[in-house]
């Protein structure tokens, strides 16, 4: 057996350097000091042990078979959490029901939006719903990004009153839903390249009002684009064709992006939410989205 060698006289000695006693063990010439356990560590340990004994008595602590000791205070956080959720649900149900309408009748969303008390309670929930379901594409503030339209401006593909928005959200755009809206920007790949380039330049100049309708490109635009994009390119809500005259864009309105749009066409997909959100959730979101535009308008004035 190996172990510490003992001093021949096997007695603790006083270490000449520190003044502490040694244990009397000699580890191959190295002697061990018998330093007392530091009090600064000892007291917290004693307190911690006392605290745990008190906690075992007062709080749920020890498993006993499939059960556990309940503690004298009888705390049950699970039951508390469930009760808390019930209270929250009950508080929400009374206002959420107003977004459901009655029977087959859709609720009057404009009237709901005009009720400031209801809005104060509903909009925070709508904001969370938007963050969870819509922000990934439309941005946390609904300001959109390349390929995804802004929802916080007054430029709509289909319309910005809550009922129209609810229809867009329910059935989607170019979505695999039987009621989906269809938005087809056709590919003009049959058109001579020079004409497409001229058109791209023309469309890129529209927002600044620098496009000349009397030019050759203006004539091309009139013949090929106005049917969907409206007179002067002001937009066609019936076919989801965006206005080409304002600063709001989906894909981009520089000449190169417009050239790509004309050449290859576009068919943006907005998912249908009918299967994923309840009708009252969709109505709630639609009032919220309509409000985003109003807020931005107000800020711009």
Locus of tokens 């635009």: 221
Locus of tokens 């529209």: 206
Smallest gap from residue 209 Cβ to ligand HEC (A): 16
Give the residue, chosen from 22, 170, 245, 261, that forms a contact with ligand HEC under the rule CB under 6 A: 261
**Which residue, among 176, 158, 182, 183, has the nearest Cα to 274 in the 3D structure?**
176
- For 237, other C-beta atoms within 10 Å of its C-beta total 15
Q: Is 262 in the site for ligand HEC (CB under 6 A)?
A: yes
Q: Is 142 exposed, middle or buried (0-12, 13-18, 19+ CB in 10 A)?
A: buried
Smallest gap from residue 214 Cβ to ligand HEC (A): 17
124: left (phi > 0), else alpha (psi -120 to 50), else beta? alpha
Residue nearest to ligand HEC (CB): 268
Give the residue, chosen from 122, 225, 272, 287, that forms a contact with ligand HEC under the rule CB under 6 A: 225
Q: Is 283 in the site for ligand HEC (CB under 6 A)?
A: no
Q: Is 241 in the site for ligand HEC (CB under 6 A)?
A: yes
**Which residue, among 239, 236, 229, 234, has the nearest Cα to 262 in the 3D structure?**
229
What Rg do the C-alpha atoms of the chain give, in angstroms?
36
Q: Is 289 in the site for ligand HEC (CB under 6 A)?
A: yes
Give the residue, chosen from 136, 216, 247, 256, that forms a contact with ligand HEC under the rule CB under 6 A: 136
Q: What residues line the site for ligand HEC (CB under 6 A)?
A: 133-134, 136-138, 148-149, 151, 156-158, 165, 168-169, 173, 183-186, 188, 199, 203, 224-225, 227-229, 239-242, 244, 249-252, 258, 261-262, 266-271, 273, 285, 289
């Amino acid at each position: 057996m190996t172990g510490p060698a003992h001093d021949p006289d096997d007695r603790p000695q006083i270490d000449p350097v520190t003044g502490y006693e040694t244990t009397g063990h000699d580890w191959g010439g190295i002697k061990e000091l018998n330093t007392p356990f530091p009090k600064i560590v000892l007291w917290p340990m004693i307190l911690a042990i006392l605290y745990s004994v008190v906690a075992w008595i007062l709080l749920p602590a020890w498993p006993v078979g499939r059960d556990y000791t309940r503690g004298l205070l009888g705390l049950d956080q699970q039951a508390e959490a469930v009760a808390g959720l019930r209270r929250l649900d009950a508080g929400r149900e009374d206002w959420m029901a107003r977004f459901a309408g009655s029977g087959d009748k859709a609720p009057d969303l404009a009237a709901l939006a005009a009720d400031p008390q209801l809005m104060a309670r509903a909009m925070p929930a709508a904001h969370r719903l938007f963050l969870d379901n819509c922000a990934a594409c439309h941005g946390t503030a609904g300001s959109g990004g390349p390929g995804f339209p802004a929802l916080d401006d007054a430029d709509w593909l289909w319309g910005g009153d809550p009922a129209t928005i609810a229809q867009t959200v329910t059935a989607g755009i170019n979505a695999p839903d039987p009621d989906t809206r269809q938005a087809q920007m056709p590919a003009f790949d049959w058109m001579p390249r020079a004409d497409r380039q001229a058109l791209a330049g023309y469309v890129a100049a529209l927002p600044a009002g620098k496009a000349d309708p009397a030019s050759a490109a203006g004539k091309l635009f009139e013949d090929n684009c106005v049917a969907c994009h409206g007179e002067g390119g002001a937009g066609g809500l019936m076919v989801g064709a965006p206005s080409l005259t304002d600063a709001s864009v989906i894909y981009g309105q520089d000449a190169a992006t417009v050239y790509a749009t004309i050449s290859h066409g576009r068919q943006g997909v907005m998912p249908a939410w009918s299967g994923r959100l309840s009708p009252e959730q969709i109505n709630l979101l639609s009032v919220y989205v309509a409000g985003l535009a109003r807020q931005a308008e107000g800020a711009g004035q």
